[in-house]
A and B are shown apart, each in its own frame.
Chain A
Amino acid sequence: MLDKNGIARRIAKELEDGYFVNLGIGIPTLVANYIPEGIEVEFQSENGVLGMGPFPFEGEEDADIINAGKQTITTMPGASFFDSATSFNMIRGQHVDLTILGAMEVAENGDIANWKIPGKMVKGMGGAMDLVASAENIIVAMMHTNRAGASKLLTRCSLPLTGVNCVKKVVTNLAVLEVTEDGFKLLERAPGVSVEEIKNATEGKLIVGDNVPEMILD
């Protein structure tokens, strides 16, 4: 079974040279720590920066340079700043190659719910609805089950939707799954996790081939 960093490490293997990538808050942010050697990617943050770098050294924080999580950041050589409308042109216009974000629920048809729980304080969707409605390639990073142990990979989402038919791949603490027309196709098992365990933790339709390999992380 993977921890949050393990999920991020596995997702980082999906990065390709030349990709522009938007990382959501939470596990997706950790992906930046595991960029495979020998490839160049640029991170976009929807508040208006392309070419995001690591956190600044202590004492070098600049209130005018933050990411979408409102954290102080730095920029890489070749970076640029722009306004919010331009930022979402990059997203809506599919210039950003890959979006990685968290979710509360994903359905077997690719629907995603990650912004609202009825009866609880609603904080808002931020840029998530624009991202999922537009991105060509969306990978969800999340735990396979919620705190109560219930599956987050469902036949249909029960929570209010963020977007429809949009998720391409899901990487959880248990597995890598591809969203296909027929349901969740099990691609890989996390180290030490059996197909049976994944079946038990998946409420939506799961397609299991004859031989499901274990993930290779390095």
Chain B
Amino acid sequence: MIRKTVNGVEEATKGIKDNMTFMLGGFGLCGIPENAIAELVRKNINGLTCISNNAGVDDFGLGLLLQQKQIKKMVSSYVGENDEFERQMLSGELEVELIPQGTLAERCRAAQGGFPAFYTPAGYGTEVAEGKETREFNGKMYILEKAFKADFAFVKAWKGDEAGNLIFKGTARNFNPCMCGAAKITVAEVEELVPAGTLDPDQVHIPGIFVQRIFQGKNYEKRIEQRTVRKR
């Protein structure tokens, strides 16, 4: 067994530097790597390019990095819930690349799987296709999209073991599995870290080979963005 465990978030983020490109899992605030984000804030590294479906809210998630102006560029599909983001974007301090959500997921997975690029119909005939190669297959038009390149991927899982095997919970799975192994170093934080041999190999969602460092996170807030309920 190849051990992937590290001693907490400080060791897990060893080697991060200014101007790096990071992938961060999560959809809204669901399944975000809370511990890694807090550490990036604490280490105050700057000029970051962040690939993440969303940009957090003002006081949580990637919003915490935006508050300190640590992010140079966001690559996302939807960024609508963050006033500070809006201010920095409109003032030109923050560069933003908006891409279709399925394309975002697939550009991660292409990097994971060793594909340099792929064709997708998403965005054909729109400004997303500008400057991109297009091609017809079976009478339908597609655009060529390239795999991401990133230095670190920070992902969050529910359970993990010493070998880096991961199991996700509910819709907190989202982009996290697609980002594992899609950057030079993948850092997984889990709510519960268990000894090797504890997880049923049949139930593993992401094999440990895609993960370089794993640690048990602390103090998960798991904030709910839109609390919607019905009466009994």
Contacts and interface: CB of A to CB of B under 8 A. Distances in A.
Say if A and B assemble together.
yes
Interface of A: 45-49, 54-73, 81-85, 87-88, 91-92, 111, 121-130, 133-134, 160-165
A47 B27 CA distance: 7
Contacts of A130: 100-103, 120, 122
A63 B76 contact: no
Contacts of B29: 63, 70
Q: Most B CB atoms within 10 A — which of A55, A65, A126, A134?
A: A126
B78 A92 contact: no
B231 A65 contact: no
Category for how many chain B residues contact A: 35 or more
A13 B104 CA distance: 34
A122 B94 CA distance: 13
B78 A124 contact: yes
B171 A64 contact: yes
Given A122-B98, A162-B126, A55 B230 contact: yes
A130 B126 CA distance: 12
A71 B229 CA distance: 9
Interface string B152-169: 000000100000000011
Contacts of B216: none
B132 interface: no
B32 to A, nearest CB: 11
A111 B173 CA distance: 33
A162 B100 CA distance: 10
Contact of A124 (B79, B108, B178): B79
B201 interface: no
B177 interface: yes
Contacts of B124: 133, 163-164
Contacts of A45: 171
20 contacts: A47-B28, A47-B174, A48-B27, A48-B171, A48-B174, A54-B230, A62-B170, A63-B172, A64-B31, A65-B170, A66-B30, A81-B171, A83-B174, A85-B108, A121-B90, A122-B98, A125-B100, A134-B122, A161-B126, A165-B125
A124 B76 contact: yes
Contacts of B231: 57-58
Q: Most A CB atoms within 10 A — which of B101, B105, B175?
A: B101
Contacts of A62: 170
Contact of A129 (B106, B128, B173): B128
A147 B195 CA distance: 60
A160 B127 contact: yes
A102 B90 CA distance: 26
